[in-house]
Amino acid sequence: ELGVARGAYQFEFDRMTDGMKATDGGASMQELIPAVKKLWEGDYAHDGEVWQFPTSTSVPKPTQKQIPVWVAARSPESHEYAVANGCHVMVTPLMKGDEEVESLVQKYEAAIAAHPEVKQRPDIMVLRHTYLHSANEPEAWRPAAEGINKFYRTFDAVFGNKVEPVNGFIDPSPEEKFSEREEFTPESLHRTAMIGTPDVVVERLRRYEDLGVSEYSFWSDNALSHEEKKRSLKLFIDEVVPNFVK
């Protein structure tokens, strides 16, 4: 399977596309996905608005006849593009609550309704920061929520493209920058991110299932230690996944 997104950080575009604006990444991605599918089939030359290359091919060829492609989508236009091009949809509500998941699913359903010519219904995957803890650790949510807060502050610092990374890393933006934004507080992230005991997580995932979500992506990038992430993932595998095995 192949997952594709347009990119988020200007510093990536400065290095990979000779300074293309990050905001133009969507057009580049959308032109490339059909081209990649053609390259998997055999010889193909491309003369597009963004990309041009002479006859090329994929070596070795994929053994699958159909390769699932997932497109990261937020706007209605991105959902429509994915559905129209036979791709599955991956969405993330970021720091928003489950009402955002409902909104994203509505965009996905609207895109499907707008393209009745697409006979095979695509899947929709939700990517969400996830951390599980046992029931006898009532305060275990706080380090996880604080770690996710640090993740978003680091994202903000890199996205701003105003500070040069040192040895590949950059310090997070200061907490004061987000002092007026409720959605970034640990208490809010405790409610919105997938943080809780296995029972709590199962209940929320059932709601996603009822909305029509077909896959869930466990996002472990939360600034916590490897051992803490490993413990959380093990709880998910042992006590959540069995509830969804068909």
**pLDDT tens-digit map of 199-224:** 999 999 999 999 999 999 999 988 89
Q: What is the arithmetic mean of pLDDT over 97-110?
A: 97
pLDDT, residue 206, reads 97
Taking the C-alpha atoms of residue 89 and residue 68, their distance in angstroms, rounded to an integer, is 10
Q: How many whole angstroms from its chain centre is CA 21? A: 21
pLDDT, residue 138, reads 84
Q: Where in the chain is the domain with CATH 3.20.20.30?
A: 70-244
Q: Point out which residues pair with 44 in neighbouring strands.
A: 56
Taking the C-alpha atoms of residue 101 and residue 119, their distance in angstroms, rounded to an integer, is 24
pLDDT in tens, 105-127: 999 999 999 999 999 999 999 99
Does 242 have pLDDT greater than 90? yes
C-beta of residue 3 within 8 angstroms of C-beta of residue 87? no
Give the 3-state secondary structure of residue 43. Answer: coil
Taking the C-alpha atoms of residue 230 and residue 224, their distance in angstroms, rounded to an integer, is 10
Q: Pull the structure tokens for residue 234.
A: 């093990």
Taking the C-alpha atoms of residue 191 and residue 69, their distance in angstroms, rounded to an integer, is 31
Q: For the whole model, what pTM was predicted?
A: 0.90
Q: What is the arithmetic mean of pLDDT over 86-102?
A: 96
C-beta of residue 149 within 8 angstroms of C-beta of residue 186? yes
What sign does the dihedral 8-85-99-134 (CA atoms) show? negative
With bands split at pLDDT 50, 70 and 90, how would you rate the model's confidence at 236? very high
Q: What is the DSSP letter of 182?
A: G
Does 19 have pLDDT greater than 90? no
Give the 3-state secondary structure of residue 80. Answer: helix
Q: Which fold has domain 70-244?
A: TIM Barrel (3.20.20)
